[in-house]
Amino acid sequence: MLRTTRSQSRNSLTVVSSTKTCGTQPSWLTHDSASRTLYCLDEFNYGAGGTLSTYSASSSGTLTQTSKINIPGNGVHSTLYGGPDGRSFQAIAH
C-alpha cells in the first residue's frame, strides 16, 4: 500500500492518500519532486518479472495512478537521471 503523508507538526504525520495498486510486493519508491511523480516498483508479477507504476501527486498529496507496465526482472531499487539535453531516464536494479 502506498501512502503519502504531510507533516502536521514536528512530531506527527497524517495519511492524506493511500492506494493498493502498485502490486503485491512493492519494493522501492522513487519520487521526482520536479514533476510531482511517484514511481513504485513491485518485484512480483506472477512469474513474469515485475511492474513499474507511476502516480501523480497533487499539491494536497492525493495520488492518482497514471500508468503501470510490466518490466523484465524483479526490480528492487531505482534512480532517476537525465542528460544535458533534458531527457530523463530511470535505472532499475534487479
pLDDT in tens, 24-42: 889 999 998 888 999 999 9
Using the Cα atoms of residue 34, residue 17, residue 47 and residue 43 in order, give the sign of their dihedral: positive
Give the mean model confidence (pLDDT) for residues 67-93.
88
Q: For 39-72, what is each residue's pLDDT tens digit?
A: 999 988 777 789 999 999 888 888 999 999 999 8
C-alpha cell of residue 91: 535505472
Check: CB of residue 41 under 8 Å from CB of residue 27. yes
Share of the chain above pLDDT 90, in %: 36
Amino acid identity, position 45: N
Q: Which of 65, 71, 66, 64 is nearest to 90 (CA)?
A: 71
Report the 10 Å Cβ neighbour count for 35.
Answer: 12
> Model pTM?
0.80
pLDDT greater than 60 at residue 17: yes
pLDDT at site 65: 96
Residue 13 CB neighbour total at 10 angstroms: 12
